[in-house]
Amino acid sequence: MTNDFRLYLLILAGSTYLIRAIPFALLQKKITNRYVRSFLFYIPFTVLAAMTVPAAFYATGHIVSAVVGLLIGCLVAIKGKGLTVVAAVSCASALAVELLYTVLI
């Protein structure tokens, strides 16, 4: 998939760069439309939610370990822990469940 890879990479990296750089380099004024601002405000959250549910349930070997990991991650995140801690706790919880599975079955 060499040719495909080059073209895909160009689209992936190019679009990501341009969407960051164009507004940064060109726009000086603030967007004032309340609904456009609201849409832009919610977009990061809806993207992350759609990417996580339900794909994350199947990210590990068993749905149980994934769900347990995500739920415990949620709790830790709500307690105010940062990105690294939440990611680590999610993985550790999922690993604990995975190991339990291996022992029991």
Partner 1 sequence: MSAFVRGMKKGIPIGVGYLSVSFTFGIMAIAYGFDWWQAVIISMTTLTSAGQLAGIGIMVIPGQYIEMLISQLTINLRYSFMSVSLSQKTSSEFRGIKRWLLGFFMTDEIFAVASDEEEVTSVFFVGLSIMPFLGWTFGTLLGSLLGNILPSAIMNALCLAIYGMFVAIVAPRARSSKAILTVVLFAAALHSLFYYLPFLKTVSSGIAISISAIVSAVFGAVAFPIREQEDGV
Restricting to residues 67-86, which ones interact with partner 1 according to CB under 8 A?
69-70, 73-74, 77-78, 80-86
Reading the block at residue 86, the tokens are: 């939440």
Reference 69, options 57, 52, 78, 81; nearest CA is: 57
The yes or no reply on residue 89 touching partner 1 (CB under 8 A) is yes
CA 89 to CA 65: how far, in whole Å? Answer: 12
- 101: Cβ–Cβ under 8 A, 6 or more apart, which residues? 61, 62, 64, 65
The yes or no reply on residue 99 touching partner 1 (CB under 8 A) is yes
The yes or no reply on residue 63 touching partner 1 (CB under 8 A) is no
What is the contact mask toward partner 1 in residues 34 to 53, using x (rule: CB under 8 A)? xxxxxxxxxxxxxxxxxxxx
Restricting to residues 8-27, which ones interact with partner 1 according to CB under 8 A?
8-9, 11-13, 15-17, 19-25, 27
